[in-house]
C-alpha cells in the first residue's frame, strides 16, 4: 500500500477510540432505557425522536458535510463560511421545527406526544451552532476534539438520563438530559474552535446565502433521503399500530444501529482524509481495502445475530420483547449492506459526484416510503423489517454500479469472510445449548480461526497493521 494511503488508514484508526467508547456507552444505556421504560413508553420515546430525526437534515441543508470537504481541501476558504453557515442554519432550524410540529399535528398525535416532539425538536437550534463548528474540527482532522465533545455529551446524557428515569420523569426527562448534554458539547466545541483560530465573530454576508443553499442542496437531499428511509417506518407504525409494536420494532432496530455505529465511526474519521487525497491510485487502494475490511467486520454480526436472536433479545430487554425476535432476524441482515452503503456514499462524495449519491438515495427512499405505506398498515413491523433490508440492498447495488466496484475488489476479500461466517454459524448451531456469553465468545473465536484457516488474513494484513503502528513515512509521527 502506498505511504499516503497507509497514513490515511493510520489516522483513521487512531481517531476511532473516543467515538467507539461513546458508542459502547450509548449502547449499554439504550438497553437499560428500553428495559426501564417498557415497550409502550419506549414506543412513544422512539416516535418522538423519529419525527425530529426524519426531518432534521432540513435544518442543516447539507452544509455540514459540505463544510467538512471544503475545509479539508482549503482551510482558509472553509473557515470563511462558518459564520454564514451558523446563521443560515439557525433560521432553517426554526422553519424545520414548525414543519415537524405541523406534521405531528396533521397525524393527530396525542398532546403528551406532541410535547415530547416539541422538546426534542429544540435540539435543532443547538445543532445550528454545533454542526458547523464540529464540521470545522473534522475538516482539519482534529477528531480527538470531536470525540472529547461526544464523550462529554454522552456522559451527561447517561448520568442525567438515569436520574430522570429513577425520578419517574419518563421520556420527557430523557429528552431534557439529551439537551443538557448537547449544550455542554456545544460549549466545548466552540472553545476548541476558537482556541485553534478557526472561527472569528463577524457579520453574516447575506449575499453568499443563495450560493450556500445551492451547493448544500445535494448534500441536504442525501441526508433527507437517508433519514426518511430510516425513520419513516417508525412514524407509520405509530399511526396504525399500538405503541407497544413501535417499541418492539425499535428495540430490534436500535441493536442494528448500535452495530452500524462502528462503520459510522470509521467513515466519519476516513471522510476528511479521503477528501484531501489527490493521488487516484492511493484513493483506489484505500477504497479496495476498506470495502473488504468493512465486509469482514460486518458479516459475522449478520450470521451470529440470526443464530442467537432468540437468546439475545430477551437477555438484553427482557421476555416482554420476545415479539421483536422475528423482526430482528430480518433486520440483522441489513448490517453488512449498511456498512458498505455509508462508506460507498462517502467515496462518491469525495469524487465531487454528490448528485449521483442524491439520485441513488432518492430512488431507494422512494421505494422505502411507497412500500411501507402499502404494507405496514396490514403487516406491521415484519413489513417494516423486510422493506428496510431490501432498501439497503437496492442502495448498495446502485453504488456498486456507479463505481464499477466489483471489478477492482479481489473476490477473496468478500468470499472468504462469508465462508468463515458460515463456519461460525454452524459452530453456534452445534453448541446452541451453551450459555449465551459462552456462545458469543465461541462465535468470535470460531470466526477468527476460520479467517486464519482460510488465509483471509494474510501477510498483507499483518504488514498493514505493523505499518499503522510504525512512524509515519510522511510526517514522522505516529497517528
The residue behind cell 479539508 is: 72
What confidence score (pLDDT) does residue 79 get? 67
In whole angstroms, what is the distance from residue 6 CA to residue 9 CA?
5
The residue behind cell 446565502 is: 209
Give the angle subtended at the CA of 329 by the CAs of 326 and 335, to the nearest 5°: 145
Q: How many Cβ atoms sit within 10 Å of the Cβ of residue 319?
A: 8
Return the closest-CA partner of residue 4 out of 282, 212, 213.
282
Return the biggest CA–CA distance within the chain: 68
* CA distance to 73, 140, 241, 333, 440, per residue, from 35 (Å): 46, 40, 21, 24, 21
Take residue 383 and report the three cell numbers written for it.
Answer: 413489513
Burial class (CB in 10 A: 0-12, 13-18, 19+), 438: exposed
In whole angstroms, what is the distance from residue 117 CA to residue 115 CA?
5
Q: How many Cβ atoms sit within 10 Å of the Cβ of residue 278?
A: 8
Return the closest-CA partner of residue 234 out of 326, 338, 327.
327
Question: Where in the chain are the domains?
Answer: 3-409
Return the closest-CA partner of residue 113 out of 270, 267, 272, 234.
234
Take residue 150 and report the three cell numbers written for it.
Answer: 461526544
Which ranges in 140-279 belong to alpha helices (H)? 143-166, 170-195, 209-240, 243-276
In whole angstroms, what is the distance from residue 76 CA to residue 467 CA?
32
What confidence score (pLDDT) does residue 346 get? 75
pTM score: 0.68
The helix/strand/coil state of 435 is: coil
| Helix %, strand %, coil % of the chain (to 5) | 85, 0, 15
List per-residue pLDDT tens for the chain, 479 residues long: 445 444 445 545 545 555 566 667 777 888 888 888 887 888 888 888 888 888 887 887 777 777 777 777 666 766 677 788 888 888 889 999 999 999 899 888 889 889 999 999 999 999 888 888 888 887 777 767 887 888 888 889 989 999 998 888 888 999 999 999 999 999 998 888 888 776 666 676 777 778 777 777 776 777 777 777 778 888 888 889 888 888 888 888 888 877 877 777 666 666 656 655 555 666 666 677 777 778 888 899 999 989 998 888 988 888 888 898 999 999 999 888 888 887 887 777 666 666 777 788 888 888 988 999 999 999 888 999 999 999 989 888 888 777 765 555 556 667 888 899 999 999 999 988 889 889 999 999 999 888 888 877 655 555 554 444 444 333 333 33
In whole angstroms, what is the distance from residue 56 CA to residue 130 CA?
14
What confidence score (pLDDT) does residue 475 get? 35
Report helix angle 3-14 to 243-276, nearest 10: 140
Burial class (CB in 10 A: 0-12, 13-18, 19+), 472: middle
In whole angstroms, what is the distance from residue 123 CA to residue 117 CA?
11
DSSP summary character for residue 385: H
What confidence score (pLDDT) does residue 17 get? 55
Amino acid at each position: 500500500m502506498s505511504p499516503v494511503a497507509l497514513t490515511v488508514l493510520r489516522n483513521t484508526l487512531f481517531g476511532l477510540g473516543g467515538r467507539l467508547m461513546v458508542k459502547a456507552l450509548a449502547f449499554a444505556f439504550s438497553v437499560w432505557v428500553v428495559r426501564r421504560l417498557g415497550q409502550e413508553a419506549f414506543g412513544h420515546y422512539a416516535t418522538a425522536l423519529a419525527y425530529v430525526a426524519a426531518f432534521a437534515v432540513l435544518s442543516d441543508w447539507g452544509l455540514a458535510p459540505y463544510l467538512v470537504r471544503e475545509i479539508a481541501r482549503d482551510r482558509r476558504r472553509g473557515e470563511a463560511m462558518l459564520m454564514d453557515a451558523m446563521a443560515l442554519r439557525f433560521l432553517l432550524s426554526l422553519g424545520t421545527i414548525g414543519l415537524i410540529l405541523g406534521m405531528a399535528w396533521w397525524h393527530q398525535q396525542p398532546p403528551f406526544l406532541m410535547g415530547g416532539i416539541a422538546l426534542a425538536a429544540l435540539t435543532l437550534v443547538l445543532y445550528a451552532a454545533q454542526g458547523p463548528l464540529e464540521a470545522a474540527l473534522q475538516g482539519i482532522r482534529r477528531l480527538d476534539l470531536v470525540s472529547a465533545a461526544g464523550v462529554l455529551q454522552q456522559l451527561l446524557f447517561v448520568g442525567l438520563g438515569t436520574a430522570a428515569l429513577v425520578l419517574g420523569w419518563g421520556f420527557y426527562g430523557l429528552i431534557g438530559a439529551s439537551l443538557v448534554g448537547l449544550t455542554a458539547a456545544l460549549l466545548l466545541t466552540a472553545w476548541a474552535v476558537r482556541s485553534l483560530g478557526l472561527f472569528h465573530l463577524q457579520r453574516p454576508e447575506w449575499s453568499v446565502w443563495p450560493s450556500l443553499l445551492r451547493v448544500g442542496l445535494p448534500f441536504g437531499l442525501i441526508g433527507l433521503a437517508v433519514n426518511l428511509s430510516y425513520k419513516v417506518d417508525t412514524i407509520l407504525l405509530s399511526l396504525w399500530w399500538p405503541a407497544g409494536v413501535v417499541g418492539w420494532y425499535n428495540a430490534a432496530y436500535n441493536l442494528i444501529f448500535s452495530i452500524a455505529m462502528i462503520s459510522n465511526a470509521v467513515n466519519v474519521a476516513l471522510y476528511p482524509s479521503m477528501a484531501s487525497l489527490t493521488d487516484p491510485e492511493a484513493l483506489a487502494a484505500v477504497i479496495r481495502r476498506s470495502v473488504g475490511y468493512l465486509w469482514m467486520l460486518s458479516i459475522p454480526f449478520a450470521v451470529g445475530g440470526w443464530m442467537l436472536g432468540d437468546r439475545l433479545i430477551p437477555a438484553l430487554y427482557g421476555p416482554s420483547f420476545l415479539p421483536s425476535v422475528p423482526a430482528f432476524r430480518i433486520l440483522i441482515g441489513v448490517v453488512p449492506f449498511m456498512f458498505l452503503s455509508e462508506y460507498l456514499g462517502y467515496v462518491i462524495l469525495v469524487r465531487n459526484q454528490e448528485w449521483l449519491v442524491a439520485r441513488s438515495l432518492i430512488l431507494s427512499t422512494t421505494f422505502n416510503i411507497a412500500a411501507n405505506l402499502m404494507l405496514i398498515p396490514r403487516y406491521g413491523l415484519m413489513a417494516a423489517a423486510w422493506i428496510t433490508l431490501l432498501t439497503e440492498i437496492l442502495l448498495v447495488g446502485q453504488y456498486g454500479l456507479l463505481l464499477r466496484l466489483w471489478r477492482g475488489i479481489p473476490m477473496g476479500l468478500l468470499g472468504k469472510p462469508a465462508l468463515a461466517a458460515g463456519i461460525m454459524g454452524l459452530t453456534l448451531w452445534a453448541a446452541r445449548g451453551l450459555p449465551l456469553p459462552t456462545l458469543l465468545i465461541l462465535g468470535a473465536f470460531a470466526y477468527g480461526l476460520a479467517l486464519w484457516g482460510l488465509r483471509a488474513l494474510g501477510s498483507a494484513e499483518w504488514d498493514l497493521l505493523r505499518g499503522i503502528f510504525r512512524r509515519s513515512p510522511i510526517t514522522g509521527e505516529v497517528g
